[in-house]
A and B are shown apart, each in its own frame.
Chain A
Amino acid sequence: MTDKTLIEGVREALDEELARDDSVFITGEDVGPRGGVFRATLGLFDKYGPTRVIDAPLAELSIVAVGIGAAMNGLRPICEVQFADFIQPAYNQIVNEAARMYYRTGGTFAVPLVIRTPYGGGIGGGLYHSQSIEATYAHVPGLKVVIPSNPYDAKGLLKSAVRDNNPVLFLEPKKGYRLIKGDVPDGEYTVPIGQAQITRPGSDISVYAYGMMHYYCQQAAEEVAQDGVDVELIDLRTLNPLDKDTVLNSFKKTGKALIVYEDNRFLGYGAEIAALLAEEGFNSMDAPIMRVAGPDVPGVPYSHPLQDWFMPNPQKIANAMRKLARY
């Protein structure tokens, strides 16, 4: 057991899955000798060779389409989209082909495909390197959407994603790549897809988050604990399919919910959690459901002060936690 970064968790999962299963291969822009722009695949080209770690042209549509074709023919591709911002050219492949293939072919063809992509702002990336795209894709039935918030889950969830027979969109909080550290056991273990986790038990308010925002929520929860606010923090981990039981059970206990996400507020993922709580948790409700989210502006600004304005951070989250606890 050693402290590793989140991206090391990703790299270990890739390494171990490539070693475990010959049908697994990686493709994407610069994933080969360069090891990816974030170095997620560093050393894998040397270790597994050019037929297992394949550089792709600058064409996300083709990267995903190649993955779908390979997956339908018995391989287990891991496609890397360099930034989540660039995934949209492949939208048609992901939504109309990958997500619907099994249904459309009456169960004849499965698409055991993983699409890895870094998402999120706070890294001075401006409009085209900061986006959060999870809501758009979590909307699509047939596609699993997974977001780890820590190195342990990054490794365990990615291994589960590779072994899943459905297409999995695996979103990695890029700001946390080297910021978030934690225990990552050497060797085999998996974290099941579809299970949220209570990462901090508490009794006053339920806070739902994932990815980078979960990391911030941990800090905010520590801060408000000093004011006597006992936060129960839930790391959703899988956005689709959602672990409704964990979400609702916590709400039944506290009656107060705060959902934190970095994506634009309007129709963001938190809206679905709020709707679920209202529909199935109404009798437990003790306060209006609150959200902390990115504002509804066209992009994450490049300007540093404006980026700070855009991004949820531990202070903004702690303020909302206090407000909700006070209600």
Chain B
Amino acid sequence: MGTQVIMPQLGESVVEGKISRWLKQIGEPVKLYEPILEVETDKVTTEVTAAGEGTLLKLYANEGDVVKAGTLIALIGAPNEANNEQAHVTQPEIAASSAEKHNGSSARVSPVVARIAAEHNVDVSLLHGTGEGGRVTKKDILAYIGSPRPQKEGAAMKVEPEKLEAWEQPGLGELFRPTEELFGKAAPTPASSTPIAPVTTPAVTSDAVVPLNNMRKAIADHMVLSKRTSPHVTTVFEVDLSKVAAHRAANKAVFERDGANLTFTPYFAMATIAALKQYPLVNSSWSEAGIALHRAVNLGIAVSLGEEGLIVPVIKNADSLNLLGLARAVNDLADRARRQQLKPDEVQGGTFTMTNHGTSGSLFATPIINQPQCGILGVGLIQKRVVVVTQNEVDAIAIRPMVYLGLTFDHRILDGNSADNFVATIKQRLETWT
């Protein structure tokens, strides 16, 4: 008996994954825990490892297939098992599919399906349903028993739907007219079951098309959703980082010894977390029932993956970490994000997000909220600038490391004043860092 390779569940809310690449081919030897395939979800790409040793005997799914979690996708065993493996695999396949049927179709057999099943002595639970939720439809069972579908009859329509034309006799019967003629056609009504992304997209012409990967699609959907969901407002503060820069210079070596690369990011994170504690309204989500405050501070930090996209790993319970802990968390998540080794749960559950767009030279930006959060803080380029400082009532020109902090917030939850108080707290914390 060989070892089955089962599609893992790659996160709490992840029900399926796309097989992006087989790292082993049929006949190749496989070691225990050796990666044998790559699976892509809309969140991350991850490797699936072998749970046993042997030879890869059979692949049940192709690259590009989207497979439900728990499905048998490959079989590993001794090379001589290849001939009788068929006997093993049919069992789990049927088990898996009938388990699925119990959730869907067998719970809901329509009267006509029940009648046909009874007449032809068919066990409906064994059929593959194409209806909603895997329901076995009348067509499914007819196809199964091989009954011909009703044929189209040749009757012609008497009335052809015509294009709206101008009111035929404007001088006659003018009292009540189809309102399309008065106001134009009604806007199309979207299907109530499925939310639809932008209604009008201009026609695109191009010389080459870059195919969309899951990440690109997920980003696109989420950005459109966010812009449609929250009224976005951005407020920008300028912060003097002299104290932070001094602290970092004094402590970088110490942190290095403790195995952490001390960047500016943990400082911004720490100041933001403190401000979130002071203004819980920013650490919240809008709902029709009310503003849902989050006790946990789960701080997302956007990490660019180049042209491929970006990902937002989340530091869970970030308020429990000190500067060293934050530095380590930032190092670790950013590193694994770039190597595409994040687990799906590590990119979920954020309550507030920071994006460090300054790393690519941007001074300030108006980031888009990561739904369903209330705000996102954009950190610009840290740049030495000439500023006017006042000491002992004397104005002087000084050179200071300055940064713009831009907070985009959901105006349903926050007004300008409370958002500004929040950023002002971050600014104050950074400028008085000790």
Binding site for B on A (CB under 8 A): 5, 7, 37-39, 42, 122-125, 129, 149-153, 174-175, 177-183, 197-203, 215, 218-219, 222, 230, 253-255, 282-287, 304, 307-308, 311, 313, 315-316, 319, 322-323, 326-327
Inter-chain contacts of B250 with A (CB < 8 A)? none
Inter-chain contacts of A218 with B (CB < 8 A)? 157, 159, 161
A284-B112 contact given A122-B178, A124-B177, A219-B161, CB 8 Å threshold? yes
Q: Which of A39, A230, A322 has a CB less than 8 Å from the CB of B172?
A: A39
CB-based nearest B residue for A3: B162
A178-B153 contact given A150-B159, A199-B158, A315-B189, CB 8 Å threshold? no
A319 and B20 CA atoms in complex are apart in Å by 34
Which residues 397-428 of B sit at the A interface, judged by CB distance below 8 A? none
A301 and B59 CA atoms in complex are apart in Å by 61
Inter-chain contacts of B164 with A (CB < 8 A)? 179
Q: Is B193 among interface residues, defined by CB-CB distance under 8 A? A: yes
A323 and B176 CA atoms in complex are apart in Å by 34
Q: How far is the CB of A186 from chain B (nearest CB, A)?
A: 16
Which residues 144-168 of B sit at the A interface, judged by CB distance below 8 A? 149-155, 157-162, 164, 167-168
Q: Is B208 among interface residues, defined by CB-CB distance under 8 A? A: no
A122 and B351 CA atoms in complex are apart in Å by 47
**Can you list 11 residue pairs at the A/B interface with Cβ under 8 Å?**
A5-B168, A39-B169, A122-B178, A124-B179, A182-B160, A199-B159, A202-B152, A218-B159, A286-B138, A304-B179, A327-B137
CB-based nearest B residue for A123: B176
Q: How far is the CB of B238 from chain A (nearest CB, A)?
A: 45
User: A152, B138: Cβ atoms under 8 Å?
Assistant: no
Binding site for A on B (CB under 8 A): 110-113, 115, 131-132, 135, 137-138, 149-155, 157-162, 164, 167-169, 172-173, 175-179, 182-183, 186-193
Q: How far is the CB of A309 from chain B (nearest CB, A)?
A: 9
CB-based nearest B residue for A233: B157
Q: How far is the CB of B30 from chain A (nearest CB, A)?
A: 41
Q: Which of B138, B153, B173 has a CB less than 8 Å from the CB of A37?
A: B173
Inter-chain contacts of B152 with A (CB < 8 A)? 201-203, 230
User: B182, A124: Cβ atoms under 8 Å?
Assistant: yes
Inter-chain contacts of A178 with B (CB < 8 A)? 167-169, 173
User: B150, A203: Cβ atoms under 8 Å?
Assistant: yes
Q: How far is the CB of A325 from chain B (nearest CB, A)?
A: 10
A129 and B110 CA atoms in complex are apart in Å by 42
A326-B189 contact given A202-B152, A286-B137, CB 8 Å threshold? no
Q: Which of B155, B161, B188, B191 has a CB less than 8 Å from the CB of A201?
A: B155
Q: Which of B112, B150, B176, B187 has a CB less than 8 Å from the CB of A283?
A: B112
User: A255, B158: Cβ atoms under 8 Å?
Assistant: no
Inter-chain contacts of A122 with B (CB < 8 A)? 178-179
A177-B159 contact given A198-B153, A203-B149, CB 8 Å threshold? no
User: A327, B131: Cβ atoms under 8 Å?
Assistant: yes
A203 and B189 CA atoms in complex are apart in Å by 26
User: B111, A307: Cβ atoms under 8 Å?
Assistant: no
A294 and B160 CA atoms in complex are apart in Å by 25
Q: Which of B154, B176, B183 has a CB less than 8 Å from the CB of A174?
A: B176
Inter-chain contacts of A182 with B (CB < 8 A)? 158-160
| Closest A-B pairs by Cβ, 4 of them | A150-B159, A286-B138, A182-B159, A123-B176
Besides the contacts A124-B177, A129-B176, A282-B111, what 9 more A-B pairs have beta carbons closer than 8 Å? Answer: A125-B176, A178-B168, A201-B155, A255-B112, A284-B112, A285-B110, A285-B112, A286-B111, A315-B188
Q: How far is the CB of A173 from chain B (nearest CB, A)?
A: 11
Among B162, B178, B187, residue most surrounded by chain A Cβ atoms (within 10 Å): B178
User: B188, A222: Cβ atoms under 8 Å?
Assistant: no
Inter-chain contacts of A201 with B (CB < 8 A)? 152-155
A285 and B112 CA atoms in complex are apart in Å by 5
CB-based nearest A residue for B184: A304
A304 and B182 CA atoms in complex are apart in Å by 10
Inter-chain contacts of A202 with B (CB < 8 A)? 152
CB-based nearest B residue for A150: B159
CB-based nearest B residue for A179: B178
User: A123, B179: Cβ atoms under 8 Å?
Assistant: yes
User: A316, B189: Cβ atoms under 8 Å?
Assistant: yes
Q: How far is the CB of B156 from chain A (nearest CB, A)?
A: 9
User: B111, A284: Cβ atoms under 8 Å?
Assistant: yes
A319 and B195 CA atoms in complex are apart in Å by 13
Inter-chain contacts of B110 with A (CB < 8 A)? 255, 285-287
User: B191, A319: Cβ atoms under 8 Å?
Assistant: yes
A42 and B149 CA atoms in complex are apart in Å by 50
Inter-chain contacts of A199 with B (CB < 8 A)? 155, 157-159
Inter-chain contacts of B160 with A (CB < 8 A)? 182
A177 and B192 CA atoms in complex are apart in Å by 31
User: B112, A215: Cβ atoms under 8 Å?
Assistant: no
CB-based nearest A residue for B175: A37
User: A175, B159: Cβ atoms under 8 Å?
Assistant: no
Q: How far is the CB of A1 from chain B (nearest CB, A)?
A: 12
CB-based nearest B residue for A181: B162
CB-based nearest B residue for A125: B176
A181 and B166 CA atoms in complex are apart in Å by 13
User: A39, B173: Cβ atoms under 8 Å?
Assistant: yes
User: B159, A215: Cβ atoms under 8 Å?
Assistant: yes
A129 and B164 CA atoms in complex are apart in Å by 22
User: B173, A326: Cβ atoms under 8 Å?
Assistant: no
A124-B176 contact given A39-B169, A201-B153, A326-B132, CB 8 Å threshold? yes
A199 and B156 CA atoms in complex are apart in Å by 7
CB-based nearest A residue for B110: A286
A179 and B159 CA atoms in complex are apart in Å by 12
Inter-chain contacts of A285 with B (CB < 8 A)? 110-112
User: A313, B177: Cβ atoms under 8 Å?
Assistant: no
User: B191, A322: Cβ atoms under 8 Å?
Assistant: yes
User: A152, B168: Cβ atoms under 8 Å?
Assistant: no
A166 and B11 CA atoms in complex are apart in Å by 70
Inter-chain contacts of A304 with B (CB < 8 A)? 179, 182-183
Inter-chain contacts of B150 with A (CB < 8 A)? 203, 253-254
A286 and B178 CA atoms in complex are apart in Å by 37
Q: How far is the CB of A270 from chain B (nearest CB, A)?
A: 18
A151-B112 contact given A203-B149, A315-B188, A315-B189, CB 8 Å threshold? no
User: A200, B179: Cβ atoms under 8 Å?
Assistant: no
Inter-chain contacts of A283 with B (CB < 8 A)? 111-112, 115
Inter-chain contacts of A323 with B (CB < 8 A)? 191, 193
CB-based nearest B residue for A118: B176
Inter-chain contacts of A255 with B (CB < 8 A)? 110, 112, 138
Inter-chain contacts of B155 with A (CB < 8 A)? 198-199, 201
A152-B192 contact given A39-B173, A284-B111, A307-B179, CB 8 Å threshold? no
